Structure 1
Amino acid sequence: MVASEPALSVVIPMYNEESVLPLLVARLRGVLDALGEPYEVVAVDDGSTDRTPVALLAARRQWPQLRVLRLRRNSGHQPALLAGLMRARGGYVATIDADLQDPPETIVEMLRLARGQNLDIVYGIRANRQADTTFKRWTAGVYYRLMRRIVGNDVPAHAGDFRLLSRAAVEALRELPERAPVLRLVVPWLGFPSGEVPFERAERAAGRTKYPLSRMIALAADSVTSFSAAPLRVATWLGLAGVVLCGILVVIALIAYFNGATVSGWPSLYVAVLFLGAVQLLCLGLLGEYVARIYTAVQGRPAYSVVADTDEAESIVDSLR
């Protein structure tokens, strides 16, 4: 059992990270042991289907500061991250992915900056994105520009989920009623004093990415619908534009009729029907996104379900059977 109040907690969501786990343990333990302060590492197994939970238990036997939190099913990156944050006990809590693209050594710089300047939040900022594809750089730029317009300029550019939070910031997150917040937007929205530490992002140490394009699109959609009603207003303006266009077409049709120039006119009719149909479907889709979020909130189902925690009385071994 680790100290009751560690100075630092490191939360790591994991899904099928068996191949990278030995590298992560060796590198992260060296960094944290060198701090000379009590710490804990909260590894959140997000319903892995490989031997990740077994490997975590094996690593824990040699590393008592490692704490294994196992979710009942795969809940997704953000819920897994939230599960670790809600159970972390450190005075400061760092979040980092398991793939070693974010260097564990930067956590020490974050902690030093937070203490030296009395900051509650320190973001890890990518110094550059040269390793990314052109498409990835372009979509990331669009995403962060859009989020800054919606949430405000407090959202740092090129900051993912690699950050350090004070205990006060974590407690503020606990008080939020949202079940599944988008943390990279909610954390800046809290308004705590913050700072930034730049770092060079490396290639994934082992294994395959767990964040394909489909999940990135889903994250962008959740980000927009969680923080803004702007899409609903877009639907309203599109509806008004459709009404105006229909009015113009009606006037043109009447003029043509009184001038005896009425022909079949199928192109204009075809375009009008397509346009109005597209606007209606788009508006229904946008409304559906918000209705779905309301439906999910009314259901009250938790974003994640913890089946075992090695710091609690029940054994995580039972969950592996």
Structure 2
Amino acid sequence: MVLMNVSNSLPVLCIVIPCYNEEAVLPITSGLFLGELADLVEEKLVSDESRILFVDDGSNDATWKLIRSLAESNVHYTGISLSRNRGHQNALLAGLMEAREFCDISISIDCDGQDDVRAMKDMVIAYHDGCDVVYGVRSSRKADSLFKRTSAEGFYKLLNKMGVEAVFNHADYRLLSKRVLEEFSHFEEVNLFLRGMVPLVGFRSSSVYYERHERIAGESHYPLKKMVALALNGITSLSTKPIRIITMLGFFISILSLIGVIWAFVVLLMGKSVAGWASMVSLVCFMGGIQMLSLGIIGEYVGKIYMETKHRPRYIISERTSTKF
């Protein structure tokens, strides 16, 4: 009789962590991730072959040096380094695709320590209950400033209004099963917005709620400017609703213009026409503004089509801490 190793029946977990200039926080949070992984292994929720995968997104500080040092100190740490900075979404995708080769489940989380690592246990339990996707969702934003809370909630509401299927108050803290990763690997677009793309894959999903904390150390890499850019990228990458809004706006303005022409013709026939400089200037400025805005939105879509047709690689891995996981 052949005895089966119990650890082999447990899923291999890969915790994927994108890093960009995180030398201040990495020495602190790496221990938190390892401690949580050890707890999951001890409770026999995941295999001891599970790993923590750091993805260095072209940092210009000592981040990659720290990742290599961690990998040398403990077998559960591993890492890859991208050839240049490609942005958070591309770095996260690189880690997920790397993890796909050896793991049964992945959990993506930021390096800053704001996301509660203890939520991983509930995610893995949901996976054992049959879920292929488990979203980490913030239970509240009490710790945020009024401006941050308002802008963040407005960000998710705008995405939903524009037709992007995104989970409210969910960023990139989530569990994905191997079969989701396999299906996700067929998504080949260059313009990435993962929190809007993952729901498109489907499969059974659930949510785990947690409290988000202040950043442990270092500085945030997502100021308002990047949040706006992320929202714009998400909308234009996953929805054509802005184009439809332009069409409807154009139709509405055309109706108003037709009414205006009829009114002007009637006034002319009645002999009551008076030169209206102010109204003419206002009309020209309004129409000019609408046209420039419309061209800008259309330009965003044309630019994305241009980038997609090039089929450039979304990331390039320049170095690994080990050749085999």
Regarding TM over 0.5, the answer is yes
SS of the equivalent of 1:79 reads helix
What pairs up with 1:171-182 in 2 under 5 angstroms? 171-182=182-193
What pairs up with 1:47-86 in 2 under 5 angstroms? 47-86=58-97
2:150 aligned with 1:145: no
SS of the equivalent of 1:176 reads coil
Tell me what 1:10 maps to: 15
Tell me what 1:287 maps to: 298
Mapped contact 1:239–1:280 kept (Cα < 8 A): no
2:103 aligned with 1:103: no
Tell me what 1:231 maps to: 242
The match for 1:120 among 93, 107, 132 is: 132
Report how many residues are paired. 308
Sort the Cα spacing of 1:151 and 1:248 in 2 relative to 1 into closer, same or farther, 3 A: closer
Rounded Cα–Cα distance in structure 2 between residues aligned with 1:60 and 1:311: 8
What pairs up with 1:153-192 in 2 under 5 angstroms? 155-192=166-203
1:268-320 deviation per Cα after TM superposition (whole angstroms, max 9, x unaligned) = 2112101211121111111101100100011111222211122328xxxxxxx
Mapped contact 2:191–2:304 kept (Cα < 8 A): no
2:231 aligned with 1:213: no
SS of the equivalent of 1:67 reads strand
Q: Could you tell me the TM-score, scaled by structure 1's length? A: 0.91
Cα deviation, residue 167, structure 1: 0.5
Mapped contact 1:242–1:279 kept (Cα < 8 A): no
Rounded Cα–Cα distance in structure 2 between residues aligned with 1:23 and 1:238: 52
SS of the equivalent of 1:13 reads strand
SS of the equivalent of 2:185 reads helix
Give the root-mean-square deviation of aligned CA atoms: 1.8
2:261 aligned with 1:250: yes
Q: Which amino acid is the alignment partner of residue 146 of structure 2? A: T
Give the % identical residues. Answer: 38
Tell me what 2:103 maps to: 90
2:289 aligned with 1:278: yes
Tell me what 1:201 maps to: 212
Q: Could you tell me the TM-score, scaled by structure 2's length? A: 0.90
Unaligned runs of 5+ in 1: 314-321
Relative to structure 2, which stretch is displaced further, 9-18 or 60-69? 60-69
Mapped contact 1:150–1:228 kept (Cα < 8 A): yes
Cα deviation, residue 138, structure 1: 2.3
Sort the Cα spacing of 1:51 and 1:242 in 2 relative to 1 into closer, same or farther, 3 A: same
Unaligned runs of 5+ in 2: 1-7, 42-46
Cα deviation, residue 177, structure 1: 2.4
Q: Which amino acid is the alignment partner of residue 87 of structure 2? A: G
Cα deviation, residue 133, structure 1: 2.1
Tell me what 2:44 maps to: none
Rounded Cα–Cα distance in structure 2 between residues aligned with 1:248 and 1:270: 18
Mapped contact 2:34–2:52 kept (Cα < 8 A): no
Q: Which amino acid is the alignment partner of residue 200 of structure 2? A: W
